[in-house]
Chain A
Amino acid sequence: AQSVAQPEDQVNVAEGNPLTVKCTYSVSGNPYLFWYVQYPNRGLQFLLKYITGDNLVKGSYGFEAEFNKSQTSFHLKKPSALVSDSALYFCAVRADSGYSTLTFGKGTMLLVSP
């Protein structure tokens, strides 16, 4: 069975500081990894994905994520946080073989203070 762990329920960071939202995963075979963001009363919006290739993936709104196979991690990062980045962030994984569905983490609330 595949799983995702987001160890922090909430991350607090000051505007202008770098941010990291952590994600580790477990999957049989190679992973396809995704980050989504959810703003209040909205559906999830896709940020970025890792399928294969370069371990550093760049996405929307200045976000990036680093795939680390040995640590089975896919942490989301941004060099300089904005107050408008405050939202709920979800990591998701699926296996690269067959038809498997996405498994989501429980989400991490990011709060960026002015």
Chain B
Amino acid sequence: NAGVTQTPKFQVLKTGQSMTLQCAQDMNHNSMYWYRQDPGMGLRLIYYSASEGTTDKGEVPNGYNVSRLNKREFSLRLESAAPSQTSVYFCASSEAGGIQPQHFGDGTRLSIL
């Protein structure tokens, strides 16, 4: 049982390039999330999907787009990468309802030069 799988684990981009971060969960969870983690900032929510077919903005959505491809998969796209988007990105999933804990992937470490 893999839980939450993120690909790639590491990526270096040049300013202006685009890329998609992939996330898949095998726990049949309804809700999925994308966070970024920066030193001293904790985790900040970028986008979330409460259920298949819905997506909503979080705290820091600018410069990102998401797609909930199906119940298992939730991707994050950077259309034109900027150095300020250098960060560690985490995908998480949870049962619906909000009282259940979120399960996290091991992150994608993204550097933008």
- A107-B98 contact given A43-B105, A101-B48, CB 8 Å threshold: no
How many residues on the B side are at the interface (Cβ–Cβ under 8 A)?
22
**CB within 8 Å of A: which residues of B?**
4, 33, 40-45, 48, 50, 58, 90, 92, 98-99, 101-107
CB atoms of A49 and B99 under 8 A apart? yes
Given known contacts A101-B33, A101-B58, A44 and B43 CB-to-CB distance under 8 angstroms? yes
Cβ contacts A to B, 9 pairs, < 8 Å: A36-B101, A42-B107, A44-B43, A99-B98, A100-B98, A101-B45, A102-B45, A102-B102, A104-B43
A74 CB–B CB distance under 8 Å: no
Find the A residue at minimum CB distance from B107: A43
CA distance A32 to B101 in the complex (A): 10
- Tell me if A41 is interfacial: C-beta within 8 Å of chain B: yes
CB contacts (< 8 Å) of A34 on chain B: these are 101
A42, A51, A101, A104, most chain B CB atoms within 10 A = A101
CB pair A32–B105 under 8 Å, yes or no, is no
Q: Which residues of A contact B45 (CB under 8 A)?
A: 101-102
User: What B residues does A106 contact at CB under 8 A?
Assistant: 40-42
